[in-house]
Amino acid sequence: MGTFEIERIVAAPPQQVWDVITDWAGHARWIPLTTMRLDQGPTRVGFSFAGLTGIGRLRFADVMRITHWAPPSGTGPGQFRLIKVGRLLAGWAEVSVEPIQGGEQTRLVWRENIVIRPVFLGRLLAPLADRINTVVFSRVIGDMASEAVRARGR
């Protein structure tokens, strides 16, 4: 399966963008047919969460664990990394926020690799899954960016 990268320039400071993209419970707002399950406490290295996607009994869990956690400080950059450790999906994500325009805007970069298990099935589905992931994540990240801009105006 391929790695995709999506970059957005967001008209909000890095902390505002960070707060939206790391609102793990809030990911259910952007990903259709999904509810979220989270560890207790603040996000930190080792923190786990899962997106439970599907209808009724036809559901799967995208289980993720934070491996690097560096929130932005002041107007500085921030970055997190995670690995996917579920039965159906493997892979990783690396997401960064970087201040631009004197900290009034943010460059948001989302890189992710999603591998469907078992591997033979993942290889078979890769061409279609890669296209779908790019389209879906482009929309989701665009929605997150829009929410960060709206939150800035509050």
Domains in the chain, start-ordered, CATH in brackets? 3-152 (3.30.530.20)
Q: What pLDDT, in 10s, does the model give residues 75-132?
A: 789 999 999 999 999 999 999 999 999 889 999 999 999 999 998 999 999 999 989 9
Q: What's the predicted TM-score (pTM) here?
A: 0.92
pLDDT at 151: 87
The pLDDT-based confidence of 154 (bands split at 50, 70, 90) is low
Question: For residues 35 and 52, what is the distance between their CA atoms, to the nearest angstrom?
Answer: 5
Question: For residues 61 and 44, what is the distance between their CA atoms, to the nearest angstrom?
Answer: 21
Instruction: Calculate the dihedral angle through the C-alpha atoms of 122, 117, 33, 134, rounding to the nearest 10 degrees.
Output: -40
Determine whether 55 is exposed, middle or buried from the number of CB atoms within 10 Å of its CB (0-12, 13-18, 19+): exposed
Q: What pLDDT, in 10s, does the model give residues 13-63?
A: 999 999 999 999 999 999 989 999 999 999 999 999 999 999 988 999 999
pLDDT at 56: 87
Question: How is residue 136 annotated by DSSP?
Answer: H
The pLDDT-based confidence of 1 (bands split at 50, 70, 90) is low
